[in-house]
Structure 1
Amino acid sequence: MPKVFISYSHDSKEHCQRVLELADRLNENDVDCEIDQYINGSPPEGWPLWMERMLEESTYVIVICTETYLNRVKRKEKPGTGRGVKWESLLAYQDIYDNDSLNSKFVPVIFKATDAAFIPKPLKAFMHYDLSCSGNYEMMCRYLTRQPLVVKPNPKSKLHLPPSNVQTTSTPIYSDRLPDVIGEFFGCEAELKLLNDAWAGDGTRIIQFIAPGGTGKTKLLRHWLDNNKDIDALIAWSFYSQGSSEDKQVSASPFFSHAFEKLGSTRSLSSFTTEEDKGEYLADLLRQQRCVLVLDGLEPLQHGGKGMHNELKDRAIRRLLTSLAGHNDGLCIITTRVAVHELNNRTHVKVHDLQNLAITDGVKLLQSLGVQGNGKELEKAVKEYGCHALALHLLGSALHTYLDDDVRKRDILTELIGDYDDLERHAFKVMQAYSIWLDGTPELKLLLSLGLFDHPIETEVLQVLWQAQIPGLTSNIDEKAWKVAIRDLREKHRLLSIHENRPDLLDCHPLIREYFGKQLRENQSDVWRQAHTRLFEYYKALPEKELPDTLEEMQPLFHAVVHGCAAGLHQQVMEEIYILRIRRGSMNYSTKKLGAYSDELAVLANFFTNPWCRLVSGSLEIYHFEILNWASYRLNALGRVHEALESMQLALEVAEKKENRNEAGVSAHCLSNLHLTLGNLKKAIADSQLSLFYLNRGVDLYPEINLFQQITALGGYANTLHQAGDTLLALECFRRAEQFQKKREIWSQFLYSRPGFNYCDLLLARSETLDVIKRGEYALKISLDAQKNNDKPYIGIPGMGLLDIALDRLTLGRAYLQQGNFSEASHWLNQAINNLRNEGSQDDIPLGLLARAVLYRDTRNPNRDFTRAHQDLQEVYDIAEPSGMRLHLTDYHLEMARLLLAEREDPASTSSGSGALTIQDHVAEAAKLIEKTGYKRRLPELQELQRQISDFAASGAGSIR
């Protein structure tokens, strides 16, 4: 991480504020930046030595060039003025002089183009960055972090020019994480033709193969990839390596890290402002060459529960696939048990239901495994096993190994014991036979050991279990016997998968892991617990650092959580691993620093017996309320608002059962916000009232925190009333909240944090612009002070952070926009949106985008940009529609209608709009949503648009866009 120091002059209060914002933004973007404003009082060594140390220790020194700065450098101001700049410039000049007039440290930066004239002479010859120009901040960050926009290729070997009659090949991008599948391939002619035609260029961008587990989806892809020599770039990934069930909580982070590495990108996952940015970035990388992308076993990343439509859980994967569906010269191939909802009705996306094997192909499969018998017996066996590819593969291997290859001896296999899915029970029937035949052997112990995992493992992990000498699993088996068992399961029984160039990797079909894992858990529960306990100890000790810094370094801790919880050590795992090393107490490190909402949610799932509505009982009950809250917040951040609602509702029930009114009040307030996001205004108001009921009767153990909760709840109630159109009562509640705050905080002038933002929203609706600017500046100062002094909990409100700063800047941007000060509005709105993206709160990002769309749409704005307005509104739709954020959708339709009207009335407009909806369509959609949600605040805006449409229709002009 580069260390940066900013040298600047204190020209004005506003100038100092901009420097502070620049420093804050650099720190948020993983650049360690220091300025004098971060010092509380004065440094221990005094200012001169501190400045000298900063210049010596910093990788770079940013010099903010202004007329005042240059005058102080040249000693043109009176003695005693600007001594800091004079001292720093003297040190800088000496540094350049000592370096033989070379400059590798000092970076000139200006806030406006005219300030280029004030760059000191020794720095004029070097690159400067004008931060008033779009894109220059990114270019500066590229320089500071040494991430060039264009990279010169590394020199390789001498240019080889072969004869013209010899065909040459380029070095391919090749990453294949699909397992090799044992046995010959039969059938699927239609599927192979579909793949060949798509790769030949028939316009298909994505193919989805839909089928239950074990029907041969992976084997089909393995065969096509192995026999297609025209693929120069391949990224093949299997999500089955992280589990096969739809209710499994899987993180896509390992896939993105791997794909970035293979495609030559050095960007870290934490460098993206949103999950959507990450998905779009990978799509752009894939489009740089004609590439085949295989995503095998996508169902763990889909919502398959009650009331869901198989939508994607992961926002980055969602953006990746929708982007590739829109533009992709290569081919993306998905295998899953259910079609992806977001890809429905896409022109260049094909969905193909992969059927079980044809009877003739099933017979060929059995014969290829050495099974003998007449045609009728073989056909009968294929039918009995449902033409299921995996079941027939297992049956053929069993008959060949144990039953003399005679198909008639299949009757020896007893009926399956237990409750299993009809489609998979045939495969499980053969696995049951194997567990009998292999009883007491190292081979069965190995299969049971693989059932401890939901992913492939390295042999060194198996070594950990073997060294533990677990009775009934790994005891009394020597190392040679283990190696023979591995060989026999691969070659003789053909039950283990093979990964190319990974002989150390042990893997099998997910259904095999599932079956033998269940057998171990249900029939040898003590062994199950002992094995998982040993794995927990192994994985928790694996990271080199007690507190890992990156997602990659943290992966062993995620495995530790899985195995510790499987061993029943939920409280120990919660305290030693999750709270202490992943979450890091109140720091929320994995989400705030790494943006790992999906990964942390996958971790939290281990504390549930049924995510997100039933928790593990026992000693973990003391954390039930916290776990439910944590899960809800992360679900909401990922745009999974309905699931967040379910978890928070349960948190309220837990608090009520404990008779903890403070916790109940907090949960009810959060429920109100979630209902508000979804557009359930009546429920939002009811939960707000419930929150006030509990908090007003709670125990005042921590006055400052309880104060915050009560003010927030009252402000939340006022906000729901405002959205429902009850402006007068909302105004009264906001004023009461502010008066209550002033009673408890004598220094307080106005509401701040979220209540202050919502109050300003109402005041803007009443056109009280000047009051809002005053309030916004006041709130921003408190938010910045709270962030700068986050170790001092009583500056501002406990827990204040980047979101508060973002909302305060959004308030100022909207106020200046209402005032018609478009340059200031642009300044504050852009900062607010950047902050909202960095914070990652999906339900708040549309607020910033909607406001900036108004800025771009406003015909009074000399820099209006209808194209950018469309882009911002499209992003609002992309966030709000899948998550069911109906208030944001209403605002989207209303603003789209206004934008289309502005385009029609502006003679300079060259935009033709986006989408097929007319103004009437958008207004009609908004009207439906207002009626369904009770979002009556927007009724005047709706009525105004309806009037304009009516006037236009009366003029005889017809439909307008």
Structure 2
Amino acid sequence: MSAGKHPHLAKKLTQLYTSCINPSISNNATLAKHLGISRQAISKWVHGSETSAGNTIPHSQILEVAAVFEMEPYCFGLELSEFGERLQQKLEPSASVTRIDKISLSSLPCTGLNLFGRSTELDAIDRVWDEQITNCLEIIAFGGVGKSSLVNSWLSRMDKLGYAGANRVYAWSFYWQGTGSDVISSGDLFIEQALEWFGDKCPDKGTPWAKANRLADLIRESRTLLILDGLEPLQYPPGPKQGEIENPAVSLLLRELAANNNGLCIITSRLSISEFVSFSDGRTKSLHLERLSNADGVQLLSAMGICGDKSDMQSAVEVYSGHPLCLSLLAGYLSVVHDANVANYRDLNSLVDIQSFDTHASSIVQAYLCWFESSLETSLLNLLGLFGRGITLVDVKALVTSESVSGLTEELVDLSHSEWSYAIKKLEDANLISTSKTGESNVIDCHPLVRDFLNEHLRREKPDAWRQGNKIVFNFLQRSAVANPVSMVQMEPLFRAVIHGVRAGLVEESFQLYFERIKRKQFSIFTEGSHHADQSCIRAFFRSPWTEPVAQLSESASFYLLSSAASNLIYLGQIDAAIEPSILSIQWFRANKRWFEAAATAGPLISMLIAAGRLHDARAEWEKGQESVELADNEVLGAASTSIGAYISFLEGDWTGASRYFENSENTLNRLEPDCEVVCPTISSFYCKYLLDAGEVEKALERALLTLQWRETNAWQVAVDTTSLYATDLLVLGLIYLKLDDLKKASDYLNKQVELFKAANEWLYLPSGLIGRAKLHSANDEYALAEQDLEEALSIAKRTGAKFSEWEAGIALAELAMKSGNSQLGQSYFQQAVEIEGMESYRHYYSQLESLKVQLYSGRENGHSSQA
């Protein structure tokens, strides 16, 4: 039987209808309605006509018909008995399945269920699920190779089995934004919406860190299948941090699930996930998708209705590198423009020998745009590319009627229902868009590669229409947002509106939207908010992140954004990126004689430089800021600054200088009332740490308890307070009790301070808290728990660039290895620690290092060196 002939078609369709394999399709009429064609068309497939033979489903529709019944296209070409056997095989697994408790797959991109050349990969996913050993599976491939299609097809198989033991199935796609999007807030949006779906009572409450931990616990409650599609917008691109997840909450969630999971998390991405390196012992696995073979590529083209010489088919597959998306777009183009004749693929000669998959796909879309010219289909494509995500038809019509723009909305005004349907069907036939149903709404979308090309093409070829279109979207998103948003779900339209407004040239209007509705006219970002989402939003205001705001901003707005960027980056632990905007902000304060703000802003910068292992720079910034402190004329600010200077001297090994500075700051802090307004926090932990390391343990305890008393009585010394300062005070108090062998109190405080650091979303200083608690575990001979805390501290420190914490964790791991009897491992940790750049400035620790070195290299494994 030749390709495309389907013997006994009427009987095969009857078998499909009566089997109820698709309950919504029970006869020719319902099949025709589903396909958007007439019943007479199906009758012609069966009986033929003057121009077509019977028992033949057209090339252009065989793939869609097969997908409706979840059959492989080739099955229709089988003899009737064999077709019946294949149908029975499809039906048998569903006879005894048990349905799952809860499922949500609507966020996944709409793809066809018919795959070519992926049976090995499907079987591999089956094995991972059945074996119940792997916690997370990453599926890695270039864009358009078919990662989402593979997952959708596997889920279809799982559906026949009642999801094979899964209690809950939840899917999320990060690819509502293309790779070219500036919006990367979907990580926080995902966390919040997933919390709600899994039953969290307050999904919008708490820090991103706390939310991620709660979500991980909820996912683990039963055997859950979690699908995360298209993670790469949240990952660092190729470079020093390639594959790391930029969003802290999503990074934490995946590390938690990789470590412990009752079900399976499947992630698709173009980049391998760096966080999984530590779990490559079988808890995580990778599945890499390769190009289609020539035979599979030819089968794909044939199934999509392309006909012609076999050698031409193979040549086309070779030219397009066996890339499924490109072949799908090519098939659609040939069907629409060249009557499905494969020989005409050579008309796209600009593609030959180009190896970039993105370029392949873009060139085919370019050919489509030339074919459609200035039609309403082109306008609809431009609008989809501009909007940057799937959009309901209702919202498309709202955008169209808001303002007339040639090449974008003008051609779509006053279309009838049938005209809309025809345009959408034409683009679907060309494989340029996909449609799906969400509730009562029809959602239109296209592949991210296509979407990115369309947006860039409109920006380049019709810049005025691109700007006007962004203005339309800016206004639309503002109107669609709630008046007083409090959650990420409610805030997300405003984040997107800001970006579209800047693209439209409405820079000042976009800043006012950001300042008034997102920041609510506050200078500092909320501690409970998402620093990552905020940073992603304000990226649009910068020509060069995070140092050069766009020229259209006023000076005060530019400074405000620089300060916001610096604050976010410090919270996120992005040390290198935070330094320059911090310095630029301080310089602006000084130039405008705002001395208090200059000095107050310098404090977090100096603390960050200390954490980064840049003690010389911290000293320089502290000395440079003394003029601002003096001119601010506020003794509480002066005491805080002096305490920072004392701590720098202490770390440098200058005990005399440190003692003098601490004495001055303590004189102020011990007054009954200050002589000025208290408008900044005071710092007690530095002095307590100094006393502890000086061997004055009882005095350190007395002073640390005094700080607690101030908090209990709401004394002026803590009138301005932060969760991070409270956590640091408890950390030092816990270490003091550990030195006094009071393990019960040490446990109380050292556990609580870790919880507080996490609650404050303090990525920069959390490693210090973990290292402190590891000392408690070590003292209790709980070596596994100690190692766990230290490894986490080391991981976070390396991620953020906190070299001081990286050094502390390395030394603590060396001590732990020695104490557990493994001096060789201890020597390895020690050597790595002493080679960390910049630590030679921290002369306070020289004697401790020398003592540890002697113990490690002399074979002594007793007399554990304690580091507070």
Matches within 5 A, 1:76-95: none
Matches within 5 A, 1:395-414: 395-413=330-348
- 1:938 corresponds to which of 840, 845, 856: 845
The question of 1:580 aligning with 2:509 is answered no
The question of 1:549 aligning with 2:486 is answered yes
Q: Which residue of 1 aligns with 2:251?
A: 318
Matches within 5 A, 1:254-269: 254-269=189-204
CA distance in 1, matches of 2:355, 2:643: 51
Matches within 5 A, 1:17-36: none
CA distance in 2, matches of 1:757, 1:777: 11
The question of 1:844 aligning with 2:777 is answered no
Specify every segment of 5 or more residues in structure 1 that has no aligned partner in the other structure, as ranges: 1-164, 789-794, 905-912, 956-961
| CA positional deviation for 1:541 | 3.1
- For 1:678, the aligned partner's letter is A
- For 1:876, the aligned partner's letter is A
- For 1:554, the aligned partner's letter is M
CA distance in 1, matches of 2:555, 2:337: 50
CA distance in 2, matches of 1:429, 1:254: 34
Q: Which residue of 1 aligns with 2:775?
A: 854
| CA positional deviation for 1:508 | 0.8
The question of 1:537 aligning with 2:475 is answered yes
CA distance in 1, matches of 2:376, 2:264: 43
Q: Which residue of 2 aligns with 1:140?
A: none
CA distance in 2, matches of 1:208, 1:171: 24
Q: Which residue of 2 aligns with 1:193?
A: 123
Q: Which residue of 1 aligns with 2:17?
A: none
Q: Which residue of 2 aligns with 1:379?
A: 314
CA distance in 2, matches of 1:627, 1:752: 22
Q: 1:931 to 1:611 in 2, by over 3 A?
A: closer
The question of 1:445 aligning with 2:379 is answered yes
Q: Which residue of 1 aligns with 2:155?
A: 225
- For 1:175, the aligned partner's letter is S
The question of 1:458 aligning with 2:392 is answered yes
Render the CA deviation track for 1:464-521: whole Å, top value 9, x for unaligned.
Answer: 2122132212235214266235532454323212335455222111112111111222
8 A Cα contact 2:819 2:861, kept in partner: no
Give the 3-state SS of the residue equivalent to 1:393 in structure 2.
helix
Q: Which residue of 2 aligns with 1:760?
A: 688
Give the 3-state SS of the residue equivalent to 1:586 in structure 2.
coil
Q: Which residue of 2 aligns with 1:802?
A: 723
Q: Which residue of 1 aligns with 2:606?
A: 672
- 1:216 corresponds to which of 143, 146, 161: 146
8 A Cα contact 1:783 1:805, kept in partner: no
Give the 3-state SS of the residue equivalent to 1:292 in structure 2.
strand
CA distance in 2, matches of 1:764, 1:485: 78
| CA positional deviation for 1:728 | 2.7
Q: 1:416 to 1:537 in 2, by over 3 A?
A: farther
CA distance in 1, matches of 2:401, 2:713: 54
Specify every segment of 5 or more residues in structure 2 that has no aligned partner in the other structure, as ranges: 1-93, 863-868
Moved more, 212-221 or 663-672: 663-672
Q: Which residue of 1 aligns with 2:40?
A: none
Moved more, 216-225 or 651-660: 651-660
Matches within 5 A, 1:230-269: 230=161, 231=163, 232=166, 233-245=168-180, 249-269=184-204
Q: Which residue of 1 aligns with 2:657?
A: 729
| CA positional deviation for 1:696 | 5.8
8 A Cα contact 2:227 2:266, kept in partner: yes
Matches within 5 A, 1:123-522: 167-176=96-105, 177-182=107-112, 184-201=114-131, 203-228=133-158, 229-230=160-161, 231=163, 232=166, 233-245=168-180, 249-271=184-206, 275=209, 277-304=210-237, 306-344=239-277, 346-348=280-282, 349-413=284-348, 415=350, 422-472=356-406, 473-475=408-410, 477-480=413-416, 483-484=420-421, 487-499=424-436, 501=438, 503-522=441-460
CA distance in 1, matches of 2:615, 2:302: 64
Q: Greater relative contact order (Cα 8 A, min sep 6): structure 1 or 2?
A: 2
CA distance in 2, matches of 1:919, 1:868: 17
- For 1:454, the aligned partner's letter is G
Give the 3-state SS of the residue equivalent to 1:560 in structure 2.
helix
Q: 1:352 to 1:756 in 2, by over 3 A?
A: same
CA distance in 2, matches of 1:893, 1:334: 32
| CA positional deviation for 1:292 | 2.7
Give the 3-state SS of the residue equivalent to 1:483 in structure 2.
helix
CA distance in 1, matches of 2:783, 2:319: 63
The question of 1:604 aligning with 2:538 is answered yes
Q: 1:630 to 1:241 in 2, by over 3 A?
A: same
Q: Which residue of 2 aligns with 1:890?
A: 807
Give the 3-state SS of the residue equivalent to 1:444 in structure 2.
helix
Give the 3-state SS of the residue equivalent to 1:478 in structure 2.
coil
| CA positional deviation for 1:429 | 1.0
8 A Cα contact 1:253 1:269, kept in partner: no
CA distance in 2, matches of 1:844, 1:764: 20
Aligned length: 758
RMSD: 3.9
Give the 3-state SS of the residue equivalent to 1:618 in structure 2.
coil
| CA positional deviation for 1:424 | 1.0
| CA positional deviation for 1:447 | 0.8
Give the 3-state SS of the residue equivalent to 1:235 in structure 2.
strand
| CA positional deviation for 1:945 | 2.8
Render the CA deviation track for 1:251-282: whole Å, top value 9, x for unaligned.
Answer: 3122223333443443424246x61x544443
Q: 1:371 to 1:744 in 2, by over 3 A?
A: farther
8 A Cα contact 2:171 2:227, kept in partner: yes
8 A Cα contact 2:668 2:674, kept in partner: no
CA distance in 1, matches of 2:188, 2:198: 15
Q: TM-score scaled to structure 1, two decimals? A: 0.71
Q: 1:754 to 1:209 in 2, by over 3 A?
A: farther
| CA positional deviation for 1:308 | 2.0
Moved more, 828-837 or 168-177: 828-837
CA distance in 2, matches of 1:209, 1:400: 31
Q: 1:415 to 1:665 in 2, by over 3 A?
A: farther
Render the CA deviation track for 1:936-958: whole Å, top value 9, x for unaligned.
Answer: 32222223333444564499xxx
8 A Cα contact 1:310 1:339, kept in partner: yes
| CA positional deviation for 1:770 | 4.8
Give the 3-state SS of the residue equivalent to 1:351 in structure 2.
strand
Moved more, 935-944 or 339-348: 935-944
Give the 3-state SS of the residue equivalent to 2:108 in structure 1.
coil
| CA positional deviation for 1:298 | 0.9
- For 1:235, the aligned partner's letter is Y
Render the CA deviation track for 1:89-131: whole Å, top value 9, x for unaligned.
Answer: xxxxxxxxxxxxxxxxxxxxxxxxxxxxxxxxxxxxxxxxxxx
- For 1:634, the aligned partner's letter is N
Q: Which residue of 1 aligns with 2:527?
A: 592
| CA positional deviation for 1:556 | 2.5
Give the 3-state SS of the residue equivalent to 1:249 in structure 2.
coil
CA distance in 1, matches of 2:108, 2:457: 27
Give the 3-state SS of the residue equivalent to 1:424 in structure 2.
helix
8 A Cα contact 1:631 1:644, kept in partner: yes
CA distance in 2, matches of 1:270, 1:247: 26
- For 1:941, the aligned partner's letter is Q
Q: 1:751 to 1:424 in 2, by over 3 A?
A: closer
- 2:462 corresponds to which of 514, 524, 531: 524
User: Percentage identity across aligned positions?
Assistant: 28
| CA positional deviation for 1:878 | 4.2
Moved more, 920-929 or 632-641: 920-929
8 A Cα contact 1:742 1:748, kept in partner: no
Render the CA deviation track for 1:407-456: whole Å, top value 9, x for unaligned.
Answer: 23334447489xx9933111111111221222222211111111222222
